[in-house]
């Protein structure tokens, strides 16, 4: 069942960005880069490793290196329900 980004963030997911360098299939001396981004759980990163395994099994361009960063945008303790709003003027 698909979940919204807010639901994922409240469950502890953070935004993971990976910069993947790979070699061109026909020109092995040329490196290309690919940016991948998804919500993932640190420190195991199951989504990112699933994508890397998919890449290695199904794509021709062999991986050279992967750099990634992870940032939690909000957590359960930072979320609060606001029930009212006050406006001046």
Domains of the chain: which residue ranges?
5-74
Residues 6+ apart with CB under 8 A from 76: 10, 12
| Cα four-point dihedral sign 45, 49, 52, 54 | negative
* Pairwise CA distance, residues 26 & 56, whole Å: 16
Q: What count of other Cβ atoms lies within 10 Å of the Cβ of residue 18?
A: 20
Looking at residue 79, its pLDDT comes to: 63
Among the ranges given (32-41, 49-58, 76-85), the one the predictor scored with the smallest mean pLDDT: 76-85
Place 11 in a pLDDT band, splitting at 50, 70 and 90.
confident
């Amino acid at each position: 069942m698909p979940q919204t980004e807010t639901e994922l963030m409240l469950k502890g997911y953070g935004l993971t960005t990976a910069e993947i360098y790979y070699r061109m299939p026909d020109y092995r001396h040329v490196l290309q880069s690919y940016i991948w981004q998804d919500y993932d759980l640190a420190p195991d990163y199951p989504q990112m490793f699933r994508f890397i395994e998919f890449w290695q099994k199904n794509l021709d361009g062999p991986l050279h290196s992967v750099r990634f960063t992870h940032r939690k945008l909000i957590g359960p303790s930072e979320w609060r329900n606001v029930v009212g709003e006050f406006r001046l003027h």
